Chains A and B, each alone.
Chain A
Amino acid sequence: MLRYTLNRILLMIPTLIGVAVLVFFMLRVVPGDIVEVKLRGDGGNISQEVVDAERKRLGLDRPLLIQFKDYMFGLARGDLGISMWTERPVIEEIALRLELSLEVAILATIIAILLAVPLGTVAALMRDTWVDYAVRIITIGGLSIPAFWFGMLMMLTLLSLFNWLPPIVFTPIYVDPVANLSQLIWPALAVGYRYCAVTARMIRSSLLEVMTEDYIRTARAKGVYEKLVVSRHALRNALLPAITVIGLEFAFLIGGLVVTEQVFNLNGIGQLFVQSVSRNDFMLIQGMVIMIAAFYVVVNLVVDLMYAIFDPRIRYQ
């Protein structure tokens, strides 16, 4: 078990290095410069010498491999580089906005779990009845309705029915919980709907799977009270894949916030990422991708470990 864990942790490193290398070179395949955007993007009269001088100052005129070497050595030290747009450290730019995005992600998770467990359980227990169909439709709706459209409709409904809008500036939850929650509950709902749908489906299908297992049938045959059967045996075993999905989808949430933050004008890492793509701010894109990848890989590892711990049948051979 320990060897398996260590093995996996060691495997993380080449994966992350691979991510860094892939993103670095992929972004630089096509020429197109942030320096030009910064200096000439607003129609200013900037001569070529000034552009070249700025490029030199930012170190962007050096050969690609030298830039790559510096970048990788920086990574080894934990330095994600300097944003090409603001010339502030990438870590600083991300840290500023991480709190908001994490809070929305956590809120969405809480909402999702609170709704998914009852929905998935009920659908599995009452399989092939109208209840099951209704839940299946609701959950597929969550997978199908674009989160940004859902968010748009939410905002416009609030505005036209109540003439009320969530606060536009972020206040941390420990400073003013009311303002904080009234701003973030809506994007959490928009993102959480999909999350809830995936989790509910997973709970339903794994419950169904477990309920056809031999030991459950045996317990039923022995006449054990139906409710006990479900709650003690089935649910416990069905929750494991559900936890897997929750863990995996949580990492995806960070990426999923990308579209939602646009709609709600939130100053989170999703918006930061979209902006960095529009501006061709390679360093920021790289830094964010590596951070997201690291996060995802760690969550993946934790989930796999939990899987291995709780289900001895699926231990790594």
Chain B
Amino acid sequence: MKAPILGLLGAIAFTFGVAATGAEAQQPKRGGTLQFAISAEAPHYDPHASDTYATLHFSSPFYSTLLRYNLSKFPQIEGDLAKSWTVSPDKLTYTFVLNDGVKFHDGTALTSADIKATYDRMRNPPQGVVSTRRATFADIDSIDTPSPNTVVFKLKAVNSSMLDHFASPWNVVYAAKDITADPAAPRTKINGTGPFTFVEHVKGSHVAGKRNENYFKKGLPYLDGYRGVFTLQAAAMLNALQGGQVLGEFRGISPAERDRLVSAMGDKLRVEESSWTLNLLVSFNTEKPPFNDVRVRRALLMAIDRWGGSQGLSRISTLRAVGGVVRPGSPLATPEAELVKLPGFGKDIKAARAEARKLLKEAGQENLKFVLWNRNLAMPYTPAGIFLVDQWRQIGVEVEHKQSDTAPYIAAMQSGNFDVAIDFSNLFNDDPTLSMTKYLSHKGNPLNMSRANDAEIDKLYEQQLREGDVEKRKALIRALEKRAFEQGYQQPLLWWHRIVPTHKVVMGWKMSPSHNLGADLADVWLNQ
């Protein structure tokens, strides 16, 4: 007769245990509309053609991807449309089994043909379609659909990043019939398999979606609907958050903005922080003297006090972590002990600056004057530019800080009409292949603003891409980093720090190092 008593005791203990752990174990409540801020508005709805979070914060709730990141255990990958998957031992074949009963918002059933059509659109965009991830899928040899719920991808060569690409938030799945009829349809029409259906988009004002009652994950989403309000000024966004008109902003704010919200909202605010998969780089135009001289480049990079500067900059801007080609703190990043040996990353700034002056003198560039090109965005480009001008003054170099709109900035970069520029890296995960694309030779690589061509870097890049063993891959990445920094064509200034504010009533949203992730809102609920 012990069992029932034990059972009762167990139940009581369980209840107390639940109460003790508090909100985490609370049952999600259905209902409510989440109103949040989106700080930019994209010109179209197609994530395949986009690189801005603005498209994802807008569109992700309407779509699903094949795989996705498990944000509670980042960077672990879990299935979204795929129920399960297997990778062949030779790593050349990826087989996915799809979930059953998945329907598009217009009622069409999802089959493997839709997956195939979607990936074909990305790797081989037809006329009039822009696919910004075409290069990432170059290794796919063929896509087969042996049955309506199985898709098989065959690769031409081993690709150590392939699984991450399948989990990318940009690779949303469209219906084959939609993109066959009109390949450019996703730019203006939304028909997805995601947790929310499209309600309206009032340009310049907001976007709204409501619960997809036929969502294939039973029980989700919890919310009745959502509304993304475009707040193009940071001040407007903060005011709205403080005033309770929006319940969160999912990109990221600066430390000073966080402090203001904390002091104004106190208990009502929740702040989540993480290091960010974004960075700013110093990029030299290696085709323009004197920046074709490695001594000049190295001198200018060594003059920057990253460790010291990050203290101050991290208080007023989103710049914080000192890191190399990979996000510091991620599995494949170079540990600090190794990093400080590379030029520009040493901790003794006095010695580094003395060395820098010496190098400049050697190169005959003691009275160096140049123009630093920068975007005119307040955060964190402006502080970065101001900081760099100040750092270079310390070694006697006079710099004119030129901030401009995106159009002239991009034009200058692409045409090579600049001396030195602040470049940026917008990544959605920690995959070194993605972050190191910038360092590949300029020929045929629009991401490399420094216009440098270096065969050794190209070779190391290719090797690490094809390397299956993690330790060997790490060594190759280190070697590439060492080569890139010693040559100094371009170098990260600092990596960013992500701070996301939400009202305490918003539950279930998951923080991650990238603002491009977790935008689908399926698991979010309101504790009201």
A and B touch in the complex (CB under 8 A): yes
A-side residues, CB < 8 A to B, are 30-34, 36-48, 50, 53-54, 57, 85-87, 93, 96-97, 152, 155, 159, 163-165, 167-170, 262-265, 267, 271-272, 275, 278-280
In the bound complex, residues from chain B placing their C-beta under 8 Å from that of A278 are 405-406
Contact B242 A46 (CB under 8 A): no
In the bound complex, residues from chain B placing their C-beta under 8 Å from that of A97 are 204
Residue of A at shortest CB range from B426?
A43
In the bound complex, residues from chain B placing their C-beta under 8 Å from that of A37 are 406-407, 410
The residue from A40, A53, A87, A262 contacting B446, defined by CB atoms under 8 A apart = A40
Between-chain CB contacts (< 8 Å), 11 pairs: A32-B407, A32-B408, A33-B410, A33-B411, A37-B407, A40-B446, A46-B446, A57-B128, A165-B239, A168-B246, A280-B407
Residue of B at shortest CB range from A275?
B232
The residue from B206, B239, B240, B410 contacting A41, defined by CB atoms under 8 A apart = B410
The residue from A32, A39, A53 contacting B132, defined by CB atoms under 8 A apart = A39
In the bound complex, residues from chain B placing their C-beta under 8 Å from that of A170 are 205
Q: How distant is the Cα of A180 from the Cα of B121 in the complex, in angstroms? A: 44
The residue from A43, A159, A163 contacting B424, defined by CB atoms under 8 A apart = A43
Q: How distant is the Cα of A262 from the Cα of B231 in the complex, in angstroms? A: 10
B86 to chain A, nearest CB (A): 29
The residue from A45, A47, A87, A169 contacting B437, defined by CB atoms under 8 A apart = A45
A153 to chain B, nearest CB (A): 12
Q: How distant is the Cα of A264 from the Cα of B239 in the complex, in angstroms? A: 10
5 further contact pairs, Cβ within 8 A, besides A263-B233, A271-B232:
A44-B51, A44-B132, A50-B132, A275-B232, A280-B407
In the bound complex, residues from chain A placing their C-beta under 8 Å from that of B233 are 262-263, 265
Contact B239 A159 (CB under 8 A): yes
Contact A169 B407 (CB under 8 A): no
In the bound complex, residues from chain A placing their C-beta under 8 Å from that of B242 are 159, 163, 165
Contact A168 B229 (CB under 8 A): yes
B6 is an interface residue with CB less than 8 A from chain A: no
Contact A155 B239 (CB under 8 A): yes
B135 to chain A, nearest CB (A): 6
Q: How distant is the Cα of A38 from the Cα of B406 in the complex, in angstroms? A: 9
B236 is an interface residue with CB less than 8 A from chain A: yes
B245 is an interface residue with CB less than 8 A from chain A: yes
In the bound complex, residues from chain A placing their C-beta under 8 Å from that of B424 are 43
Q: How distant is the Cα of A57 from the Cα of B414 in the complex, in angstroms? A: 20
Contact A279 B231 (CB under 8 A): no
Q: 10 closest A-B pairs (Cβ-Cβ)?
A: A44-B51, A265-B236, A165-B243, A43-B426, A267-B204, A42-B51, A280-B407, A42-B52, A44-B132, A32-B411
Residue of A at shortest CB range from B54?
A42
How does the 8 Å CB contact mask read for B85-122 relative to A, with 1 for contact and 0 for none? 00000000000000000000000000000000000000
How does the 8 Å CB contact mask read for B122-152 relative to A, with 1 for contact and 0 for none? 0000011010111110000000000000000
Residue of B at shortest CB range from A267?
B204
Residue of A at shortest CB range from B236?
A265
Given contacts A32-B411, A37-B410, A279-B406, contact A47 B444 (CB under 8 A): yes
Residue of A at shortest CB range from B245?
A168
A86 to chain B, nearest CB (A): 5
B43 is an interface residue with CB less than 8 A from chain A: yes
B312 to chain A, nearest CB (A): 26
Q: How distant is the Cα of A278 from the Cα of B233 in the complex, in angstroms? A: 14
A297 to chain B, nearest CB (A): 27
Contact B204 A272 (CB under 8 A): yes
The residue from B127, B206, B405, B446 contacting A169, defined by CB atoms under 8 A apart = B206
Contact A169 B130 (CB under 8 A): no
Contact B236 A45 (CB under 8 A): no
In the bound complex, residues from chain A placing their C-beta under 8 Å from that of B130 are 39, 46, 50, 54
Q: How distant is the Cα of A251 from the Cα of B321 in the complex, in angstroms? A: 51
Q: How distant is the Cα of A170 from the Cα of B437 in the complex, in angstroms? A: 43
B365 is an interface residue with CB less than 8 A from chain A: no
Q: How distant is the Cα of A46 from the Cα of B444 in the complex, in angstroms? A: 10
How many of chain B's residues touch chain A, expressed as a range?
35 or more
Q: In chain B between 200 and 238, which residues have their CB closer than 8 angstroms to a CB of chain A?
A: 202-206, 227, 229-233, 235-236
Residue of A at shortest CB range from B246?
A168
In the bound complex, residues from chain A placing their C-beta under 8 Å from that of B134 are 47, 50
In the bound complex, residues from chain A placing their C-beta under 8 Å from that of B239 are 155, 159, 165
Q: How distant is the Cα of A50 from the Cα of B203 in the complex, in angstroms? A: 27
A266 to chain B, nearest CB (A): 9
Residue of A at shortest CB range from B411?
A32
In the bound complex, residues from chain A placing their C-beta under 8 Å from that of B206 are 169
Residue of A at shortest CB range from B407?
A280
B50 is an interface residue with CB less than 8 A from chain A: yes
Q: How distant is the Cα of A41 from the Cα of B205 in the complex, in angstroms? A: 22
In the bound complex, residues from chain B placing their C-beta under 8 Å from that of A54 are 130
In the bound complex, residues from chain B placing their C-beta under 8 Å from that of A43 are 51, 424-426, 447
How does the 8 Å CB contact mask read for B232-264 relative to A, with 1 for contact and 0 for none? 110110011011011000000000000000000
Residue of B at shortest CB range from A44?
B51
In the bound complex, residues from chain A placing their C-beta under 8 Å from that of B407 are 32-34, 36-37, 279-280
B44 is an interface residue with CB less than 8 A from chain A: yes
Contact B410 A40 (CB under 8 A): yes
In the bound complex, residues from chain A placing their C-beta under 8 Å from that of B51 are 42-44
A191 to chain B, nearest CB (A): 17
How does the 8 Å CB contact mask read for B431-465 relative to A, with 1 for contact and 0 for none? 00000010000001011000000000000000000
The residue from B136, B204, B227, B235 contacting A96, defined by CB atoms under 8 A apart = B204
Given contacts A38-B43, A39-B130, A159-B239, contact A45 B203 (CB under 8 A): no
Contact B204 A45 (CB under 8 A): no
The residue from A39, A45, A86 contacting B447, defined by CB atoms under 8 A apart = A45
Contact A85 B43 (CB under 8 A): yes
In the bound complex, residues from chain A placing their C-beta under 8 Å from that of B43 are 38, 85-87
Contact B232 A265 (CB under 8 A): yes
In the bound complex, residues from chain B placing their C-beta under 8 Å from that of A33 are 407, 410-411
Residue of B at shortest CB range from A92?
B203
Q: How distant is the Cα of A221 from the Cα of B189 in the complex, in angstroms? A: 77
Q: How distant is the Cα of A54 from the Cα of B187 in the complex, in angstroms? A: 14
B151 to chain A, nearest CB (A): 25
In the bound complex, residues from chain A placing their C-beta under 8 Å from that of B231 are 168, 265
Given contacts A44-B132, A48-B446, contact A280 B44 (CB under 8 A): no
In the bound complex, residues from chain B placing their C-beta under 8 Å from that of A264 are 236
A125 to chain B, nearest CB (A): 43
Q: How distant is the Cα of A278 from the Cα of B410 in the complex, in angstroms? A: 13
A274 to chain B, nearest CB (A): 9
Residue of B at shortest CB range from A50?
B130
Q: How distant is the Cα of A43 from the Cα of B424 in the complex, in angstroms? A: 7
Residue of B at shortest CB range from A152?
B235
Contact A42 B426 (CB under 8 A): yes
Q: How distant is the Cα of A43 from the Cα of B449 in the complex, in angstroms? A: 11
Contact B229 A169 (CB under 8 A): yes
Residue of B at shortest CB range from A39?
B130
Q: How distant is the Cα of A156 from the Cα of B52 in the complex, in angstroms? A: 31
